[in-house]
Structure 1
């Protein structure tokens, strides 16, 4: 018994419900379940009844995903949990009998679903308290750890083994009916397989001349004709016969599809009979009329028609075949599909590409017209639209930019083209444009040498220009030597070749930095100063410590970084200032993203290493570094830190043989961040995967000394309302705001909410951008405000709305999309994946195929182009000028505000994709940013934020990040809507509290240890001294503990891999340096946290002084220890309630 049910949301179903398509084999005990069936079912949520129709084939339709579908609606239809056996015994038995997978895995390794010791269906599933839909639209069903069990084949199974089902269908039909929420094309393809599989078949055997011997009760068969005996017949069941008798639809599709033919000029197809005279055929009055030519004639007489492309035309117009004319559509729904053209068909292929973007053409000539220029053929017209790639574009970009840009800006543009645009002939591009690229060289040399009559030859001009381009490339770790055919400058003619990376990190005004350092130092609070002193001493003694500074927004982490940087750089030492995001990197002096500075791979694995090679300038820089600062560390995957650790140990082993045994090769590293904010992005990862990707789950964490900043420096001059708002944000980030129905839902204060009105997007726009029409060209106005939303789809909808609202004179830029040839396992990819399909694909972090821009619009950069000039991923700019192949924009955020930059189209590819090919999209790496995603906003500070939540947040820390972008309560406006677009005050706040368990448990562990020590001191019952005490340390060697007071640990695990608590406690005393000094208290702890599954985590708290800076260097007498331990005991009791 097996059924597969796919839930397919649609906006086009009467009653506001959703369509369920069911298809598979059915064999049950019900009178209706003895044949093979396929069902179409109609669910109508709270607006209608359930209708089930038996039919022999599946009816498929084109469905649009319901924009307002929520997790609550999914829970109303689909369940992946065991019903309560006491209150719903019938439901419980049905699920137990039909919907339990397995047992498999360790309990049954020979199960049919086991391949390579893993379940093909990925059972057991992960525990989840709530149904969630991740950013890519994948549902994760609710499977709570509620203690409900079912026994199958002697094995107890819980909710993790339940196959998703609909309880109404399950109980009614008493069969295995798997119900899934349709979210990807694979599910739809599964349905279409049944649509086209053909009729049911049955094989009959006919016996002739059967003789029966009644005495022996035996049968004798004679005269067998095997060919006539076996008949292959079409099988029609009773229910199918009834369906046909009632003349119900056997198969249908909706909406209708209008096939659109097209042809080159005067090359339309003419049909005639063999007996027709050609003269008569040519004299037919409608011989020149085709769908294509009549489309162009309709565009001449109708303004509404001119707003549609040929492909979209059938949505508003109907083709009348008899009269051969298009007429306005009065009813019904239809879509158009243009006939296919193979890429080798020449001009016909390019004409088809144009028909997907050109609107309202009234002639073949008009189709070839772009920006008022009539092109000689369709291929050049495609190029003018940006639909084709080629090196001519780069040449045009430089020439267009030369009308506005200086020589220096053109050289930066040329370097960008080399690094990001896959120029096939760099040398040819240089030869064609070197005069423009060296336009200001002579003037600059006159000023440098203070000699007005200097003359430079063409060779010298080119050499100087190439040298400056080499310097620009060196800032990104690249060189002209990497590009085939490019000339390399003659360094001897200018100066000797030095390590430009080292020079850049030492190229600071040390006198100015001394003054700046003294000013910053005087502003440190007690917590910051303690950390500052420890780090500076670590650098001075070359101790190679690893530190983590933990603090929420406003506690002065960036201020501390600037103080450390100015101190060491003023002494001529090298500090690498980095951050996980481009926005955070711009806040640091000389900051870079960690990926670009350390050459971390885009896709990191457990074995990854950085791209820095021995003997390179980058490797030399690593050997000279005194301090590495890495801000926003919780955003990066722990594999990034581990890759850097492996690379630095390898690079530095030649200068210090002990570096291989030290974290980060013995370099002093300071990490910083807030675990309340967004954690590393794990594609398709669930809660435990995201938590496991955090830095505090790395093997490096046991070496890390954690400091906490608690004093909010932003609130020093604030009033009580401001402090109350900051406290609410912190409480929200800690997950301590009272939840509604225990589903992570929280109530937002009413003064922060705005009403949705008739148009929610219009409401949030007006609240965030008041007086928009008069102020949108003001860079300061745009800089200090933005709308935030959880997903890219919502952000794109808001940005499109605002462009339409302003109605500026926009330019539309189309991308040139192709499939990367490295996808060698794809054959005939041009046929399998037509261009219009590639154009329709959307990926996070990749600009869309169609990009609308206008002068004055705010845009956001989507790639790190030139971090030294402030062009990082996330940099916000305002468009100042537009041309076909280059954009001029002014930076409005970061440390380069007001600087004008030039941005060309570059080649982009998604780092991860579900498609069996790699897309190459040539497009401007920008997007309009009146609104941005919450993830993109992390690290940005704004005065006015509008938070739009038609869908709840879907990951840890997103709500906290969104509301913490502003510092004042008046600057935050929140609009929450339900599935009916009505205002709401309740939204989801997802907090993974286990992320900072390693930090919060530290202080609790300290309290426990102090209590233990106090009790030992109170009872005067010291344990016998021993030479050593071995303790459990995951992945490490046994440690030696001298003079232990106590030492115990326990490890246990059940069948499902659930670890219980193991605790090792040890405490002792260390003698002071001389007889007069006090004894120093020493302790360590190894604590095993209970975690489900194999991902158990071990905490190694090696040293109280390491993890508790307030105890640093404290000498404790036994009497003082007794009092301190009793105080901590009272505090612990108080904390436990």
Structure 2
């Protein structure tokens, strides 16, 4: 690794010579190491370079090795299985991948391609698979999706061979209620959202993928039996007829039409290797990469054979900031008139880097008007710079805006004025006005980075980058910041739309923790709302989330419409209980009413009123003091126990002791408002032996328990 390129580390060392003996040692795993985290990050950035130049990819293809291919089985010795010969599997799959890429690019089965890239991965059981991104010269239109992608069983009478291939390789599951042990099942539901819904026509989806045509049996869709389950088109993974028929394997073909799909694809490139963590200690990058790493035999063989793990076209040239590449660009602009028309990132398309200088390309398309200038398909990408490195960050920004600079001073010159810093030059050019550069930075980060990384980036902006209007940035990108928290809420059974305040508050807590660790300041000092740090905003309690996940708008409407319908006696009870809640009097009430007198109507209205104000109101509960429901009981405003006269008096006494214990209060029912409801006239025949009904009634009415 070229450690001399760590310019700012050198600067720091030169300024602190007296402290060199106390500085730690940093061990780095370079980006040239195939499969390392820096290597993966570079591949992700290269993918985004294609997106910036060519837009979104048109197709996302996942191709998985089939261990039953005759090319594999014919080479096995007697008694051997494919998992006994990973060398054969690797060699055959490598040939198949080359064949597929040739069909996609040279064969142009989907049309001419602008660019492509792929990455090889391995399943835990050892089978390799490849993820392919494909950009087409003629962008896919919604009406042409059905010509390329199919999500239905083929007709066995018309194409029996393809029918057998799809039956054996392109059926998801069945999972869910049919197989709760399936790897894709979490909390009883398929994470891939199978089975899909029946559709007569393909529709554009909201999640980055279309909703493909899946006709029901009534509309002509085919079915077959698999392990006793009837499989129809809802279980079919999208595929392409030509690729599936050619390769006889799992070949998932998806149409990409959203930034979300780009982020999903880039996660594959950037998720890193499988690992198991054994201890927590300070590790260098090399040791960290090796620690507990899972390498399948198939991957080991692939690496021994030196087969490519990634491939791409066109090539991407990486341009450094503040190093010899920039200096060479300045020198080129001083002597070459055509170079003066270019941005730094555009240079690789016309010039080749050779002997520490840029020379004109000898191959490519001739550029009219400039003798001897040719353009190739090479793309340029300037290395990313951490926003905390303020001057270098703004230097990179200027290199993307100013054409043909001849020196660093030229970059800092705006309208004849040489500014003292690159940041000042950016401000003079209007690049920092209204936080435009931070919006661009977050736009890019939200495409390819995880929520945690985006939290870190935003925290750095707040602490070090003098953001003009942090609340506006928060309002625009808070949904990206909180993606992981929303998934957590959905997994715990909460309603995301009704819990947005809780979700955003949790996100602010995480963000503020990072900001405090960097600067010792709170979000309030940067103009943002300070998060509420108490139990009601902790997104980990399913019971608590469920009690907060009511539609307050609907409940408010119910209350408004039904309060006028209360009769005088009902209104008296309604007002009495609400006033008791407001004053926190901790009373115990008993509503004695026969059936048909509106008792249930009144109870439902009380529940609606309390829940509409985002307070907790529960019916009946019994739990340990440390459980999730205990948290709910501590926060509840009222407990309503309908038909309590059907219960044994010991149950009411137990509830009293439970609430006193959970709420840490010796008042009756632990100080919570309790409404017991029932009809003693219906329960006299079932009073337990030895207990007089009038005694129970008198006991309850006088609040003696």
Pick the TM interval, shorter chain. 0.3 to 0.5
The structure with the greater share of residues assigned to strand is: 1
Structure having the higher Rg? 1
Q: Structure 1 length normalisation: TM-score? A: 0.27
Structure having the larger proportion of residues in helix: 2
